[in-house]
Chains A and B, each alone.
Chain A
Amino acid sequence: MKNTAVSTVVKKPGILGRSYTAFILFFLYAPIFILITFSFNSTRSRSVWTGFTLDWYRSLFLDSSIMNAFYTTLIVAVISAIVATIAGTFAAVGFHSMRRRWRTPLMHINNIPMMNADIATGVSLSLLFISLGMVLRFRLGFGTLLLAHITFNIPYVVLSIMPKLRQLDNNLVDAACDLGCTWIKAFWKVIVPEIMPGIINGLIIAFTLSIDDFVISYFTAGGNVMTLPMQIFAMTRRRISPEINALSTILFLTVLALLIVINIRESKQEEKLHRGEDSRDR
């Protein structure tokens, strides 16, 4: 009886509701499919279909400035994500073991780069780098770009690890210490394995944020280094070429594949979890 009562309370959306969501999805995807379609267009036109070609893909891979920008993006993303994940893990563990009186203000400072407008973060970092550069004799470039990316990545890593630390049973650490572990050993053998899902999540978030960032890179990379988003920005302003469309298509398919893999993994994990709960109930 109870089940039927619940199902009357929360009615499934009707045809009207579903067509509305379908329309919104159309709104979200139509531009992307237009980009993809015109990546195969044989002329430079962005609105008239003139025939099929793969030329834009070929010239994309032959364009050395695009490929250089791509490598720069990848290197910055990998290094900054790894550094931010390590630093963020230690920072989160440290914050977690602090008293609230200290932790709360520190977490507020940690959140500043996430809450602040990207342009404000970018501008303030560029002022810092320019001022320091005058004293220490360096210029904006790959190094400052990397420092900026690490800086805006760490807060997200900290934030994805904190909930896992809250779930962690403190008795486990005490037990390890009672059994003769030093604190450092307990950290590696108890805490890190327990918060691993949070660490991995943080690493993925940091990596994708770094790949995707345009505004902060734009202000901190200087004139000689370009990331892929910076290159795209330059292309939209100078010459408009279907190479951009080809690039979009490749990026879209990569992300789609990644997301499907992650989703399948997650649903498998969830199934496992549910099965575990069921057996415990029995």
Chain B
Amino acid sequence: MKPKYFSIPYIVWMGIFVVAPIFFVVVYAFTTADGYPTLQNFAAMSRFTPVFIRSFLLAFISTVICILIGYPVAYILSREGKRVQRLMIMLIVLPMWMNFLLRTYAWMSILENTGLLNRFLAFLGLPALNIINTPTAVVIGMVYNFLPFMILPVYSVIVKIDRSLFEAAQDLGANNFSVFRKVVFPMSLPGVLSGIMMVFVPAVSTFVITQLLGGGMVMMLGDLIEMQFLGTAYNPQLGSAIALVMMFIVIVFMYFVNRFGQSDEKAVGA
């Protein structure tokens, strides 16, 4: 037996459990409940346009905030000593190991109207904030849950940059800021790109964060899909169509993000 045949069982497995399910989504999306081919599932989607816009907007905002908050953390960490780096990375990874439902649940008790944040504000004599069940709460939940997914890939790319490049740039007259702008930042872009993917995809498709922190008031694509499969609005055909469109938009988005990254890399190389 040749070694390459070792993978045959798994290839069959992928055919059944990876490729076939996607095929089923496509078939469901283009059929009626009775099994006739149709486009009505896609036509019916137009009334959900606000949900599509809200999902991509909130996921986009969360991704941008994750970059703005996470990038400096990754950069600062990369300049620490080895021991500190190791400890800090462990501290950043640790919360990720806790179930994300529980992490999101924690924010419920902070943000709710009689929650800890408002009690703290009252203690300071400040007016209460109404955050729970608003898009703000959803964005906070996304940033909190997905921030480590931005910090870690950026950090792992920055750490691998050859230090002698900084030296060379300084020898050629660059100050600290230009070293960062012309060397560190362009070279760290691949890390930012994988961070964007790791934050944006789960953010745009979440239904847990919206249900826990949005209280059903902030409906996103994930909620819409979940409702069609397990909720009151049972309609797997429509759910499949929505899921298909969501996957398609995500793939197009990723394609452009990647192309943007590649053209930038070329510019640096030249």
User: For chain A, what secondary structure do more than half of its interface residues adopt (helix, strand, loop), or is it mixed?
Assistant: helix
Whether, in the assembled complex, B240 has its beta carbon less than 8 Å from a beta carbon of chain A, the answer is yes
Whether, in the assembled complex, B138 has its beta carbon less than 8 Å from a beta carbon of chain A, the answer is no
Interface size class of A (residues with CB under 8 A): 35 or more
Residues of A within 8 A of B112 (CB): 46-47
Q: Which residues 225-282 of A sit at the B interface, judged by CB distance below 8 A?
A: 228-229, 232-233, 236-237, 244, 247-248, 251-252, 255-256, 258-259, 263, 267
Supposing A9-B167, A117-B250 touch, asked if A90 and B204 sit within 8 A by C-beta, the answer is no
In the complex formed, the residue of A with least CB distance to B151 is A24
Q: Is B14 a contact of A109 with CB atoms below 8 Å?
A: yes
Residues of A within 8 A of B148 (CB): 28
Q: Is A131 a contact of B211 with CB atoms below 8 Å?
A: no
Binary per-residue interface labels of chain B (29-64) against chain A in the complex, 1 for a CB within 8 Å, 0 otherwise: 000000000000000000000000000000000000
Whether, in the assembled complex, A51 has its beta carbon less than 8 Å from a beta carbon of chain B, the answer is no
In the bound complex, what is the Cα–Cα distance between A251 and B101 (angstroms)? 12
Supposing A123-B225, A128-B20 touch, asked if A9 and B163 sit within 8 A by C-beta, the answer is yes
Residues of B within 8 A of A248 (CB): 98-99, 102, 105-106
Q: Is B167 a contact of A6 with CB atoms below 8 Å?
A: yes
Whether, in the assembled complex, A187 has its beta carbon less than 8 Å from a beta carbon of chain B, the answer is yes
In the complex formed, the residue of B with least CB distance to A228 is B99
Q: Which residues 1-17 of A sit at the B interface, judged by CB distance below 8 A?
A: 5-6, 9-13, 17
Whether, in the assembled complex, A218 has its beta carbon less than 8 Å from a beta carbon of chain B, the answer is yes
In the bound complex, what is the Cα–Cα distance between A245 and B79 (angstroms)? 37
Q: Is B246 a contact of A12 with CB atoms below 8 Å?
A: no
Residues of A within 8 A of B119 (CB): 47-48
Pick the interface stretch among A31-39, A52-60, A195-203.
A31-39
Whether, in the assembled complex, A206 has its beta carbon less than 8 Å from a beta carbon of chain B, the answer is no
Q: Is A31 a contact of B229 with CB atoms below 8 Å?
A: no
Interface size class of B (residues with CB under 8 A): 35 or more
In the bound complex, what is the Cα–Cα distance between A79 and B44 (angstroms)? 42
Q: Find B9's partner among A87, A109, A255 (CB 8 Å cutoff).
A: A87
26 A-B contacts (beta carbon < 8 Å):
A6-B163, A12-B80, A18-B76, A29-B95, A31-B144, A32-B95, A47-B109, A91-B10, A92-B7, A97-B3, A112-B18, A116-B201, A120-B246, A120-B247, A123-B239, A123-B240, A125-B21, A128-B17, A130-B236, A215-B207, A219-B229, A228-B99, A236-B105, A248-B102, A256-B94, A259-B94
Taking beta carbons and an 8 Å cutoff, which residues of B are in contact with A? 1-11, 13-14, 16-22, 24-25, 28, 69, 72-73, 76-77, 79-81, 86, 88, 90-95, 97-103, 105-110, 112, 114-116, 119, 144, 147-148, 163, 166-167, 170, 176, 197, 201-202, 204-205, 207-208, 211-212, 222, 225-226, 229-230, 236, 239-240, 243, 246-247, 250
Taking beta carbons and an 8 Å cutoff, which residues of A are in contact with B? 5-6, 9-13, 17-18, 20-21, 24-25, 27-29, 31-32, 34-35, 38, 46-48, 87-88, 90-98, 106, 109-110, 112-113, 115-121, 123-128, 130-131, 147-148, 151, 154, 183-184, 187, 208, 212, 214-215, 218-219, 228-229, 232-233, 236-237, 244, 247-248, 251-252, 255-256, 258-259, 263, 267
Having A124-B21, A212-B99, one finds 19 other A-B pairs with CB under 8 Å, namely A28-B92, A29-B95, A31-B106, A34-B116, A35-B102, A35-B105, A46-B115, A91-B11, A94-B3, A94-B4, A98-B4, A106-B11, A113-B18, A120-B205, A123-B240, A123-B243, A127-B24, A214-B99, A251-B99
